[in-house]
Chain A
């Protein structure tokens, strides 16, 4: 069964600090892994997308890593800001059996709260 597990479930940090969120997946076949940010009451917004051959990808203060052998990914946030408070969702795209489109499997998300 395709699954995406994230840890921790929630995290509280002080403004300016760094943090790392974890993601383990069992989706097969694997096409790519994405990290999304979802603000309360809004739709998810893409932060990074990595294919099998990519180990790391940055987007401003966000850096994602991928180890396709161990099927693990992390999202590192540096110099956190109050606006980083949101749910961060790990999403894996795998080819749905017999089709050519990428079916997304979502993790539960890590709720990050940044305090001043």
Chain B
């Protein structure tokens, strides 16, 4: 059973461009979480999705950021008109269920650099 896959692993974008980060959860997992880790800081929750639904997006900036988890295919975190402050590591995690006792399995992360 392959783990959580994220691609690309590294992404460089110029200010004003769009960044698309992909996350394929573990097989059988229908719950996906996105986290951001700024340099020298801990991970911060961004959004929690189930298939075709956004359950909690309270950690997502109101503008420029969006996330989706379609019925088919990976979850996508989209950042429009990137700025230097968006440079960070973005981690995706998946779990097989919703309750707090379920383990979340993390992907290797996508490191976004905005130049």
Contacts and interface: CB of A to CB of B under 8 A. Distances in A.
A96 B45 CA distance: 12
Given A43-B91, A89-B43, A100 B98 contact: yes
A101 B55 CA distance: 9
Contacts of A44: 43, 91, 106
B100 interface: yes
A43 B108 CA distance: 4
Contacts of B104: 46, 104
A6 to B, nearest CB: 9
Given A93-B100, A101-B55, A102-B99, A43 B107 contact: yes
Contact of B56 (A41, A45, A103): A103
Interface in A27-84: 31-32, 36, 41-46, 49, 51
Contacts of B44: 106
A101 B48 CA distance: 9
B56 A99 contact: yes
B4 interface: yes
A103 B4 CA distance: 19
Nearest to B98: A101
Contact of A102 (B91, B100, B106, B109): B100
A8 to B, nearest CB: 15
Query: Which of A31, A46, A51, A103 has its CB near the most chain B CB atoms (within 10 A)?
Result: A103
Interface of B: 4, 31, 33, 35, 41-45, 48, 55-56, 58, 91, 93, 98-109
20 contacts: A31-B101, A32-B101, A43-B4, A43-B91, A43-B106, A44-B91, A45-B106, A46-B103, A46-B104, A49-B103, A99-B55, A99-B56, A101-B55, A101-B56, A101-B98, A101-B99, A102-B102, A103-B48, A103-B56, A108-B42
Interface of A: 4, 31-32, 36, 41-46, 49, 51, 89, 93-96, 99-109
Given A93-B100, A95-B100, A104-B43, 5 more contacts: A4-B42, A41-B108, A41-B109, A100-B99, A107-B42
6 closest A-B pairs by beta carbon, nearest first, are A102-B100, A43-B106, A31-B100, A106-B42, A106-B43, A108-B42
